[in-house]
Amino acid sequence: MNLTKLFDMQKELDRFIQSKQGLEGDLFRQKGLALLVELAELANETRCFKFWSTKGPSERSVILEEYVDSIHFLLSLGIESNLNMLEEWPDPAPEEDLTELFLKTQQVIHQFLDSHSMSDYQAVWSWYGAIAAQLDFSYDDVLDAYLEKNQKNYDRQREGY
Ligand SMILES: O=c1ccn([C@H]2C[C@H](O)[C@@H](COP(=O)(O)O)O2)c(=O)[nH]1
């Protein structure tokens, strides 16, 4: 999937949020922690690791919205570190069960937060691609949900979130 339009939309949204909140400067570390939190929220909605519970996962739409919250912060981190020239979503990492995918993704996010490198940034995208595949989300599903949540984020700022 081509990422150029998403980077452009994210840049606009970030600019809007920062001006609304009266913020300037580097928010890389805050956004890094935000991405780790969103990843954990996503894992929590899938309930993939909750061997002690018989309750099933949340509704698909809830899981998809959590997924695209991560995509917002992943795009935003790319913009903060001038890596938004990445044009295509890198191929997904190999299939594994969801628990393993969440652990690997968390690991590569930490690596990227330390290195700021393009290769680690691409690796984070690859692991998110593998999570999407495992959850049966197509690129179109992700794109549509991103567009919807992007709009919701503007609305929330306007309503004083
Ligand atoms: O600089 C920012 C800050 C927040 N968000 C978006 C990403 C998520 O969709 C949402 C997270 O909000 P919470 O519901 O986790 O508060 O905010 C951005 O896109 N850019």
Q: Is the CB of 69 under 6 A from ligand 1?
A: yes
Which of 48, 93, 47, 40 is closest to 69 using CA atoms?
40
Find the 49 Cα to ligand 1 centroid distance in Å.
Answer: 25
Structural domain of 46: 4-158
Nearest-CA residue for atom 14 of ligand 1 = 69
Nearest-CA residue for atom 16 of ligand 1 = 161
The number of folded domains in the chain is: 1
Mutation probe of ligand 1 site: the residue of 10, 72, 151 with most atoms within 8 A of C-beta: 72
User: Which atom from ligand 1 is nearest to the alpha carbon of 18?
Assistant: 1
Q: Output 95 or 85, whichever has higher pLDDT.
A: 85
Determine the pLDDT at residue 127. Answer: 98
User: Which atom from ligand 1 is nearest to the alpha carbon of 161?
Assistant: 16
Determine the pLDDT at residue 161. Answer: 78
Q: Is the CB of 14 under 6 A from ligand 1?
A: yes
ipTM score of complex: 0.98
Q: Is the full-model pTM beyond 0.90?
A: yes
For 53-89, the pLDDT digits (tens) are: 999 999 999 999 999 999 999 999 999 999 999 999 9
**What percent of the chain has a predicted confidence (pLDDT) above 90?**
97
CATH of the domain at 36: 1.10.4010.10
Per DSSP, which regions of the chain are E strands?
none
**What value does the mean pLDDT take over residues 20-40?**
96
Q: What mean pLDDT value characterizes the chain?
A: 97
Backbone phi and psi for residue 2, each to the nearest 5 degrees, phi listed first:
-80, 135
The pLDDT of residue 6 is above 90:
yes
The pLDDT of residue 95 is above 90:
no
CA-to-CA distance for 143 and 116, rounded, in angstroms? Answer: 25
